[in-house]
Amino acid sequence: MRSTLPTSHGFVVANPALRKRNPLGDRTGKSEFVNNFEFTGALDDTNWSVVPDAVKWREEVCGGEDAIINYNISLAKAGGKIVSEILGTEILDNAENTLTNCAMTTIRLPLEVGVFDAGKTVGWLQMSLVEEFDSFLPVFVFQGQFWTRLSAQVWVEEEDFAWAAEKLKLLCERAGSVEALKAVANGEQPKTVIGRANGTQTS
């Protein structure tokens, strides 16, 4: 078995020519198999102490597990459509449309990998989202394109997807300028900013 489902951060593609930046960083000394399966994210044992209250809240406030699942899947589908329309791109799915039967949606970004340094651009986009908008979205390269993934949660609404899409659009427009391409290539912060209100460029 090559990968978990969904695929772990530590997954390494078989073809060395297709390997990109690993978000887990340099994890030498361990096999690719171990790196693929050992990462589980942050561990916080205090979560277990609130399980009874959390289950009660999910049942009484959210309407139970089925209601939560249905809401999140429906929201992810609607939110993905909103984001793809704002960006003018597409949703990642298969012919049977089963990839989107979950609480996550993956959207192509309007950037061409062949024009950009993929690893540096991914890092810059993610860092800019954090530093400028107090948000994080995973950005990655798949089949020669930049993509991002958004998740639906019970506290998220369609307006949140629209907000995220607008911020992604601003960053992609900024990255598309010649000045930005040079800055990202040098590991710098692009100076050109696309104005939120009217789309004009300001320095």
pLDDT at site 9: 67
- Quick one: tokens of 112? 């061409």
pLDDT digits (tens, 9 = 90+) for 143-187: 889 999 999 999 999 999 999 999 999 999 887 665 555 665 666
Report the DSSP beta bridge partners of residue 145. Answer: 112, 142
pLDDT at site 165: 97
pTM above 0.95, yes or no: no
Domain ranges of the chain: 51-202
Separation of alpha carbons 57 and 202, rounded Å: 47
pLDDT at site 71: 97
Over 60: is that where the pLDDT of 22 sits? yes
Please tell me the number of Cα atoms within 13 Å of 43 on its side-chain side.
3
pLDDT digits (tens, 9 = 90+) for 95-151: 999 999 999 999 999 987 776 678 888 888 999 999 999 999 999 999 889 999 999
Q: Look up the CATH superfamily of 51-202.
A: Aspartate Aminotransferase, domain 1 (3.90.1150.10)
pLDDT digits (tens, 9 = 90+) for 1-20: 677 666 766 677 777 777 66
CB 141 within 8 A of CB 112: no
pLDDT at site 193: 34
Over 70: is that where the pLDDT of 69 sits? yes
